[in-house]
Amino acid sequence: MELDLLDHHEAIFIGGAWVPSASRERIDVVSPWSEEVIASVPSGSRADVDQAVSAAQHALTTGPWPAMALEARVAIIRRLREQLVQHSETLARLITEEMGCPIAQSRAIQVVNPVRILDGYLEAVETYPFRELRHTVAGHALVTRAPVGVVAAVVPWNVPASLTIQKVVPALLTGCTVVLKPAPETPLDAYLLAHMLREAGLPDGVVNIVPADRDVSEYLVTHPGVAKVTFTGSSAAGKRIASLCGQDLRRVTLELGGKSAAVILDDADLDLVTSSLRMGSFRNNGQVCSLKTRLVVPEHKQAELVDRLNGMIDTMAIGDPHDEHTEIGPLVSSRQRERVEGYIAAGRAGNGRLVRGGGRPAGLDRGWFVEPTVFVDVDPDETIAQEEIFGPVVAVIPYRTEQEAVDIANNSTYGLNGSVFTTDIERGLRVASRIQTGTVELNGSPAGFGVPMGGVKSSGLGREFGPEGLEPFVELKSIGVSAEVADRLQTPAL
């Protein structure tokens, strides 16, 4: 499959077919590099959402999907994996075109992580207890886990394929059906996913795709035919969705923003720190919610860390995201660049010092670029240390004691990710346990895709990945039985 998806599409994917949208509105896909329209898709309407939810409900209650055994669903997901691997280069190039991720990172991260996420869910589902017997002194019960129903999956633009797989695969493995709403900035990879799902043999209507803007997205997450919403995006949007879902007691999982701290203890290996922060703070042009954008460093080591950061950034090529050597590409949109530049202006007006960047790269007259930017001596309460910027901007915050470092890390409304750097592993684990966040990486080691991931405070509700990532898509039911029946049910098949 070539990059023929860079086209003006006239249809949306509903009920296993490409059907005309009920809307005449269009969504233009604009290249962050050339600033030109490279494709367009229909902007879905409420009528399109109604049709997609109806198709998902039909697939949930009729046809082969509700009667399909777990092994058959697993087989489809394995064929989807084959499709992801087969079309990885197409997908990498498509994401680079859509949102400006440097092609080397698209190949190494944007299309590799979806496969790893899929593999993690396949491993988790092998031992997942869809049926289990519980024996207590008060009685006996068969506990079952059935699909929760139609799932609305709403994904952002920054890592679209990974986040789509992160939501669609656990829903499918548990027997749910899906209406996928891709971000307006990056709808094209979802069109490729539709082709791959058809090749994998997914029954009609099990996954439906409706590109749309905010108002139609709100209609989807409040649709009476939707039983579950899974969303990744900003904390402001997540709070709005939680409020809307709360009115109907609709189940919701939210992975939201972050302002993650890298706590650098006084015995840390600064070579390891800087090499980890290369991707840990600046990958995907700074547009990842788990990036470490607050660097909490001992006061007496701040200058040394900044020297090493400058040396590292000097080696990061800025420019054309299609170039194999580029490490910093453009931001996704003009609006996003304006947002980042606004935060840089706030940083200049604060008490911290700008020691690097702060503007647009010289010699790049097109593309929505912002230089990698470093502020030092930042007060932990300043705007650039408190609010998510979503660009290549870091704040270096000095501290004097370990307790102060922990306090700074926890001085945030967010709690999605974080790091602790130290050569004393026991000390590192002790500090990590005190940081209020869903994930902590010790010396830059990732937690992987088989363990629960999610945030605390304003960084979200619920968890994804591992068996915990399957739980939000099932409905528990307890069936009381006699001891005699329980004994009969106690078979290896359970």
370 within domain boundaries: yes
pLDDT at 374 over 50: yes
User: Whole-structure pTM over 0.85, yes or no?
Assistant: yes
Q: What is the mean pLDDT of residues 39-44?
A: 97
Q: Are residues 330 and 472 in the same domain?
A: no
| pLDDT at 217 exceeding the cut of 90 | yes
Instruction: Specify the number of domains making up the chain.
Output: 2
Task: Give the dihedral sign, CA 296/302/306/312.
Answer: negative
Cβ–Cβ under 8 Å, residues 452 and 469: yes
Q: Which two tokens stand for residue 142?
A: 């068969």
Rounded to an integer, what is the distance from CA 62 to the centroid of its chain?
A: 32
Residue 2 inside a domain? The answer is no
Average pLDDT taken over every residue of the chain = 96
pLDDT band at 263 (very low <50, low <70, confident <90, very high): very high
Hey, what amino acid is at 323?
D
Reply yes or no on whether the pLDDT at 491 is more than 80. no
Are 220 and 306 members of one domain? no
Q: Are residues 326 and 409 in the same domain?
A: yes
**Predicted pLDDT of residue 63:** 83
Q: Give which of 207, 260, 213 is closest to 237, Cα–Cα.
A: 213
Q: What is the residue range of 359's domain?
A: 260-442
Residue 353 identity: R
Which residue matches tokens 């026991």? 426
Shared-domain flag, residues 298 and 219: no
Does some domain include residue 471?
yes
Task: Decide if 485 is inside a domain.
Answer: no
Q: How far, CA to CA in Å, does 231 sit from each of 193, 284, 319?
A: 18, 20, 31
Residues 59 and 116 in one domain: yes
Locate 130 and state its tokens: 């869809």
- 147 and 62 co-located in one domain: yes
Any idea which residue has 């697939």 for tokens? 59
Assign 3 a pLDDT band (cuts: 50, 70, 90).
very low
Which structure tokens are listed for 360? 């647009």
The mean pLDDT of 231-242, rounded to a whole number, is: 96
Give me the pLDDT at residue 1, please: 38
Predicted confidence at residue 489, as pLDDT, reads 87
Q: Convert the pLDDT of each residue in 45-62 to its tens digit.
A: 999 999 999 999 999 999
> Tell me, what's the pLDDT at 104?
98
| 118 shares a domain with 203 | yes
- Do 107 and 198 share a domain, yes or no? yes
Q: Cα 259–462–209 angle (5° rounding)?
A: 95
**Domain shared by 220 and 340, yes or no:** no
Angle 189-75-130 (CA atoms, 0-180°, nearest 5)? 105
Q: Which two tokens stand for residue 197?
A: 């799902």
The reply to whether 356 falls in a domain is yes
pLDDT reported for residue 490: 80
Nearest CA-CA partner of 281 in 396, 398, 186: 396
* Inside any domain, residue 357: yes
3-state secondary structure 192-215: HHHHHHHHHCCCCCCEEECCCCHH
Q: In whole angstroms, give the CA distance from residue 39 to residue 216.
A: 21
Report the percent of the chain where pLDDT is more than 90.
95
Q: Looking at the structure, do residues 133 and 164 belong to the same domain, yes or no?
A: yes
pLDDT of residue 6: 86
d(CA 392, CA 328): 8
pLDDT in tens, 408-464: 999 999 999 999 999 999 999 999 999 999 999 999 999 999 999 999 999 999 999
What span, in angstroms and rounded, lies between the C-alpha atoms of 366 and 310?
A: 25
Domain of residue 393, CATH code: 3.40.309.10
The predicted-structure confidence for 275-295, as pLDDT tens digits, reads as follows 999 999 999 999 999 999 999
CATH number at residue 154: 3.40.605.10
Q: How confident is the model at residue 5 (pLDDT cuts 50, 70, 90)?
A: confident
> Are the C-beta atoms of residues 390 and 339 closer than 8 Å to each other?
yes
Residue 285 lies in a domain: yes
Please indicate, yes or no, whether residues 131 and 278 belong to a single structural domain of this protein. Answer: no
- The C-alpha atoms of residue 464 and residue 153 are separated, in whole angstroms, by 13
Task: Indicate if 78 and 215 belong to the same structural domain.
Answer: yes
> Over 80: is that where the pLDDT of 492 sits?
no
Mean pLDDT of 325-344: 98
- Report the pLDDT averaged over residues 355-370: 96
Residue 484 lies in a domain: no
Domain boundary residue among 417, 442, 467? 442
What are the catalytic residues? 255, 289
